[in-house]
Structure 1
C-alpha cells in the first residue's frame, strides 16, 4: 500500500469530499474558488487528500455497481449528495488505510450518532447511554459482566444498580464503574473521564465523584475538580465560561461538517454564555453581535471567523 495515502487525517479527507461535492453540484462562485484554493495551499496534507479523493471518484465512476451508477448519474439533489458522500468517504477509508479512524467502525458499531446529532439509549440493565456528536459504542452484556466500549467520540453513562460489574473501555484503558453518572470523551492521545456521581477505578486506582482526569494507561493524570459544564451537551447546550474563542469554535466544529476556522487575531477573545447546539448557524450569527468579529461563509462547509473591519 502506498503509505503517502495514509498521511492525511479523516477530517481533512472529509473536507476534500465536501469540496468535490460542491464542484459537482454546479461549480463554485469566485469566493468559493478562492476559499478552495486557500484550503489547498494551507497544508501539504490538503493537497494529498484532494489528489486522492479525485482518484477515488474516478474509480467509483468506473464501477459496475448499481449503487455507484445510480448515485453518480442521478439528478442533483440532497439525497444524491448524501449518497455520493457516503461512497466517497468509504472509498477514502478503504483506499487510504485510515486504521481506527476509518468510518466503517462507527457505521458497524452497535450504536452510532452522526455529526451534529446526539442519541439517548436505554440499555437492557436499565442504564442510560447518551452519545454525543460523531460517536459510536459497542455494548456487550452477559451473565458475568457488563461491558460498554467507546469506539470514538464522547458518551455519558448513567449506570444502574446490578450485581454484575460494569466495565467501560476506550483505546487507552479499561474502567470499572460503580452505579452513578459518568462522562467519557476520547481524544487522539488520551481519554478524559468526569465522575458526576459514583466512583471509577482504573487498574485499581479510584477516581471519586466531583473529579475528572485523563488517562492513557493504568494511571490517572491531571486530576482536578469537575467541570460543571462537562455534560451540558446531553441537554443540547454548549456552555462557555470565559472560554477562548478559538477553543469555543473548536468545540462548535464538532457539531458541524466541513471546516470552521478562527483567525489568530481573534482567537484569544473570551466568550461566555449558553448556546443551543441544534442551530450552529445561529450561534455563529450571535458571535457577530457579542464580539468584534465577522463570520465569512465561503460555502456551507468552509466558514471563517475573523476580526471585524
Structure 2
C-alpha cells in the first residue's frame, strides 16, 4: 500500500496517530464547538502538527481511490468502532512504515486483516491443508500459518471449534493468553479480553500460558478450564452446552437471564440490554442462535418479562408491568 505514497515528512508516531484520530472524529460528524476549539489549539500548537495534518489529509484522499475491500469497508461502512479502527490502520499504514512500525501491534484492528473470519450472527467451517477442521463462531477470526516445520493457528478474536488432524509437524493454537498444543484433539477455544477458555472433547491438549515459568498443564478429554497470561484455573468437567454453538444452539442450565442475554447478543447486531430488575431470573433450555428474535419471543412467554424495542438494533428485556 505504501508504494504509491510519498514518504512522510519528519513526523513522530505519536503526532501521526493524533492527526489520524482527529480526522476520524471529523468524519464521524461535525465537531462540537468545544472539540473544534480543541482541534484548532492542537493544530496551532506546533508546526509538526500542521505537517502531520496536511500529510494525513493527502493520504486520506489517496485511500479513497483504492479498490481494496478493506479500504472500501473502512471508508463506507457505518460509523462503528470497527470502522474507525480500520480507518486508523489504513491511514497509519499509508503514512509510511517509519511511522507505523511501532504502532501496528498496538492497534486493535488485526481481525480486520485476518486470513479467515466470520461476521456477527454467522458461523463458518474451514478445511485446512493438513486435514484439520475449524469452525468459527460468530464474530471470530483466525490466522493460519503452515510451513515445513510447524502448523500455527492464531485466534485473533472470538471462538473456534478445532478438530486437529495428526501430522508429523507440531500444531500450536495461539491466543492472547498462551499457547495450546493439541494432540489429535477436538477442542473449543474462546478468547476473552482478559482470559481464554478451553474445552477438550477428545485427545489431549498441552497448555502453556504466555508468561508462565513452570511446567505446562495437560488438559485431558472431557475437561475445560480458563487461563490468563500467568496461570490457569483448575480443570472441571465439561458443561452440558460446551460447543453447542457449532450446531447452532445455545444451551442454558439455570443460567442468569443477564448472562443468557449476553450470550445471545453475540449473534445479533445492535444492543441487547437486560433490566437489572430481571437480571437474576433463571433460565434453562436449548435455543437456536440463528433466530434471536424467536428466542426473545419465547422469553416473553416463559418469564415475567417483556421485550421493549426502541429500534431494531436497540432492544431491552425488562420486567413485565
TM tier, shorter chain? 0.7 to 0.9
Whether the aligned pair in 1 keeps the contact of 2:86 and 2:112 (CA below 8 Å) is: no
CA distance in 2 between counterparts of 1:142 and 1:255 reads 34
1:91, distance to aligned residue in structure 2 (A): 2.8
- Matched with 1:205 is 217
- Matched with 1:55 is 26
1:94, distance to aligned residue in structure 2 (A): 4.3
Asked if residue 127 in structure 1 is aligned to residue 138 in structure 2, the reply is: no
Report which structure shows greater RCO (CA 8 Å, sep ≥6): 1
Specify whether residues 152 and 163 from structure 1 end up closer, same or farther in structure 2 by C-alpha distance, changes over 3 A only: same
- 278, 287, 294: which one aligns with 2:306: 294
Cα RMSD for the two superposed structures: 3.3
1:66, distance to aligned residue in structure 2 (A): 8.9
Whether the aligned pair in 1 keeps the contact of 2:28 and 2:79 (CA below 8 Å) is: no
1:305, distance to aligned residue in structure 2 (A): 0.3
CA distance in 1 between counterparts of 2:314 and 2:83 reads 22
- Which residues of 2 match residues 67-106 of structure 1 at below 5 A? 83-85=76-78, 89-95=82-88, 102=108, 104-106=109-111
- 126, 143, 152: which one aligns with 2:148: 143
CA distance in 2 between counterparts of 1:269 and 1:87 reads 32
Whether the aligned pair in 2 keeps the contact of 1:145 and 1:164 (CA below 8 Å) is: yes
Specify whether residues 88 and 154 from structure 1 end up closer, same or farther in structure 2 by C-alpha distance, changes over 3 A only: closer
Q: How many residues align?
A: 252
- Matched with 2:192 is 187
Larger CA Rg, structure 1 vs 2: 2
Unmatched 5+ stretches in structure 2? 1-13, 31-57, 66-72, 90-102, 209-215
- Matched with 1:111 is 116
CA distance in 1 between counterparts of 2:185 and 2:143 reads 20
1:101, distance to aligned residue in structure 2 (A): 6.9
Whether the aligned pair in 2 keeps the contact of 1:261 and 1:305 (CA below 8 Å) is: yes
CA distance in 2 between counterparts of 1:259 and 1:249 reads 10
Secondary structure of the equivalent of 2:258? helix
- Matched with 1:172 is 177
Specify whether residues 258 and 169 from structure 1 end up closer, same or farther in structure 2 by C-alpha distance, changes over 3 A only: same
Secondary structure of the equivalent of 1:221? coil
Specify whether residues 254 and 53 from structure 1 end up closer, same or farther in structure 2 by C-alpha distance, changes over 3 A only: farther
Alignment TM-score, normalising by the size of structure 1:
0.73
